Amino acid sequence: DAKTTQPNSMESNEEEPVHLPCNHSTISGTDYIHWYRQLPSQGPEYVIHGLTSNVNNRMASLAIAEDRKSSTLILHRATLRDAAVYYCILRIGIQGAQKLVFGQGTRLTINP
Amino acid sequence: EAGVAQSPRYKIIEKRQSVAFWCNPISGHATLYWYQQILGQGPKLLIQFQNNGVVDDSQLPKDRFSAERLKGVDSTLKIQPAKLEDSAVYLCASSLGRGPFFGPGTRLTVL
């Protein structure tokens, strides 16, 4: 299965931007890049996804490298509630049989 | 819009006992997933349904785990008999195009 590589942990300060990197050098042309986050004792929460172009939503931005072998999740102004484990995931497979293969994720700590 | 519902939220059993988890996906979502998340690890896909058919169960330990999806809506995951290493959070998720969207999970402790 296609895999992603993320740092185990990162730390940032409240109200500052956070850039979470992800490498996915074995990505294929039809694989979507998804980001989820997981707060303690909760299920993973969808954050954002993209294929080739950069994407923005109310939660975050996703910057995808031109060769698609890496991407960066950007939290523009971190709050204490953004402290979570962030997973960069490739959605692989054909329509109707697509699946997410999770890695270890990055544990993000936000300092007040 | 109601989210994915799971029950029970917590379950404690002894090894060699049986246990079942229930999932009610978001209305209209054709795809349903069961994931296992061991403490400190990312979720691992156990089984994926498209409507009431199995799409992928390659990581399901079929000697002890079974799952079904009734009429393409609700789903049940069963473990019989449970082992100590089955202690984990069992997550159900569903999708229709976007997502998937996850439920809160069932935390299983096997003593």
CB contact under 8 A, A105 and B91: no
Query: What is the distance in angstroms between the Cα of A46 and the nearest Cα belonging to chain B?
Result: 7
Nearest CA in chain A to B6: A43
B51-70 pLDDT, tens digit each: 889 999 999 999 999 999 98
Output the 3-class SS for chain A: CCCCECCCEEEEECCCCEEEEEECCCCCCCCEEEEEEECCCCCCEEEEEECCCCEECCCCEEEECCCCCEEEEEECCCCHHHCEEEEEEEEECCCCCCEEECCCCEEEEEEC
CB contact under 8 A, B91 and A44: yes
**Residue A99 with chain B: CB contacts under 8 Å:** 33, 45, 48, 55-56
Distance CA B48, CA B33 (A): 4
Give pLDDT tens digits along chain A (112 positions): 558 999 999 999 999 999 999 999 988 888 899 999 999 889 999 999 999 999 999 889 999 999 999 999 999 999 999 999 999 999 887 666 678 888 889 999 999 9
